[in-house]
A and B are shown apart, each in its own frame.
Chain A
Amino acid sequence: MPYVYLDEWPKTSPQDLARKENVLVSAKLMLNAAFSAPVMGGIPQVEAALVYGEDEQERIARKMEEIALLNESPRLREVFRTEAVMVREADSIVLIGNYRAYDTPMDVGCGLCSAAPNCNFLYDKRKTTAGIIDPVESPRPDSPEEAHFRGPLCMCRVSDMGEAVGSALLVANSLLVDAKPMLSVGLAAVKLGYLKRSEVAVGIPVAAQAKNPFVDVLPNYHAFSLDKVIDNIRRTYPTLRQVYWYDYKTGFLAKKGSSGNLKPDGSDSD
């Protein structure tokens, strides 16, 4: 079948899915870049996931909205709620996490997290067995009820993750697809267990649509999104179309200049 028809409307129509397939190619190339990104010492520490499809994106978006309510700051609530809309509007989601930041730190006493030439600040907050951070006794990353990452994290590892995210974004940039790094998405993904071992992650929704869905939004975007507008038209229009009781076969429109528009005027009937 050498014919593929692409469009971004209607949502999840064959043409929209075909377009999303293409965006997926870009997202996959972004993942290559994430893995080949420069990291300190070339130590493997990055894991990644690719999530797409209405159901999966909805799942992440809802988790973000759940986390939004856990936040006390109204500003953060709005960030989580708005970015949840963006996750729904995206074509696919790239997730990049670091699975060493929590329990296998760099161990060089770099000073980033502690401002001291040792890693005590991190080790003091963990349960250890013979100095090794206990993989069972330390709480699992995907504990559901928290609105933030559990630090202190090894900032050397986090920095490396930043480079992985940056490489992925650079690929998106050169492929001319829109992408935006979001901590909110990363947090939701960690809580949902999409990244199996990571305590910290960044989510990158990716899209190739007429309007970059990740910029220039309205305040309270979750209430004023295009989906909401369309849904409200679907809600009001069925009622609206019947209140004038128009019979298209006889066409009894009132003559111009006749009196009211709520009561039929006898003189107007043909």
Chain B
Amino acid sequence: MAILDGNYEALHGSVVEVAKLCALAALKAPKLTGTEIKTKIIVGEVDVRPIVDVMEILGEVSAFVQGDAQTIKQNLDAGTPPTLLLIGVNAAKSPVSWEDCGACGFGECGEFNRHATKNFGAGTLFAGPSCMARVIDHGIAMSWAAAAAWHHHVDNRLQASTGVGAFLLGYMQDVSLVVSLTMGPPGFSIYYDRKSMKRAYTDDVIQEMLMRNIPALFQGFPGDGLPKLKHSKDWMADWRFTQVGKDPEFEAKNQEVMGKLQAYLGEFQAKRQIQA
């Protein structure tokens, strides 16, 4: 006989079990071409923390990544790490002469494969070039995994941001595209309407972000050729405008972030080699 509390310690194991079921779903998911889907489950703070570190660095120039980083970080700090199901695929290799479908931009699969071998490289999120059939299969697999988590009532979100962190750290080998199905900790809603981001931004910051992103909502009469932005009640007296231009500050920041990232990844690999 035992009394199990409904807390993290008691339920975390079940989240990991559900993550395994999600991995089964990803592998079992229907495929266009029998693509090999690779999965890995990252459990516990020690292995999740480096991913968050990388996301935090990237997040300095991306609000979206930063939000995901902070949510996971807060859960790590609270001693309730989420479980990450990494779903990856190597899309840079086509099943030879499957259909010669042309979606990749080449007439024949063989041609694509030769091109991909020579020109494999990373973008801001994933690596490429990619065979469309592989990408679709990966999409189906992600969907099945997410639906499995949904059916088991574990709060989850498919995150490219977390996938990037794991990808850059080399958590998965022989993949070009990794997305993380971030699951748990047990709770009502962790990744939607995030309590973790409560009071992260002031009203002013949010309003400025909106003005930058959807200026059309705030623009007054455009007949002057330079519409004034409605930023407060006296927007007609206190003029603000949107401007098109380069942002050296942002560019420098971006450069700095890339440097930081390289340094962190180097350190991580060195540490790993020592451990091995």
Contacts and interface: CB of A to CB of B under 8 A. Distances in A.
A219 interface: yes
Interface stretch (B82-90, B126-134, B221-229, B248-256): B221-229
Contacts of A215: 189, 192-193
A228 B210 CA distance: 13
Contacts of A244: 225
Contacts of A239: 221-223
Nearest to B146: A176
A10 B193 CA distance: 27
B104 interface: no
B216 A176 contact: no
A236 B216 contact: yes
B217 interface: yes
Given A232-B216, A239-B223, A262-B225, A218 B192 contact: no
Interface string B201-214: 00100100010001
A218 B208 CA distance: 13
Interface residues of A, number: 22
B192 A174 contact: no
B147 A176 contact: yes
B151 interface: yes
A11 B118 CA distance: 46
A229 B214 contact: yes
Given A176-B147, A216-B192, A236 B227 contact: yes
Contacts of A219: 203, 206
B126 to A, nearest CB: 21
A205 to B, nearest CB: 15
A220 to B, nearest CB: 9
Contacts of B221: 236, 239
Contacts of B203: 219
B217 A232 contact: yes
Nearest to B227: A236
A243 interface: yes
Interface of A: 173-174, 176, 212, 215-219, 224, 228-229, 232-233, 236-237, 239-240, 243-244, 261-262
Closest 10 CB pairs of A and B: A215-B192, A240-B222, A229-B217, A236-B222, A233-B216, A239-B223, A232-B217, A215-B193, A239-B222, A229-B214
Given A224-B210, A239-B221, A243-B225, 4 more contacts: A173-B151, A232-B217, A232-B218, A261-B225
Interface of B: 147, 150-151, 153, 189, 192-193, 203, 206, 210, 214, 216-219, 221-225, 227
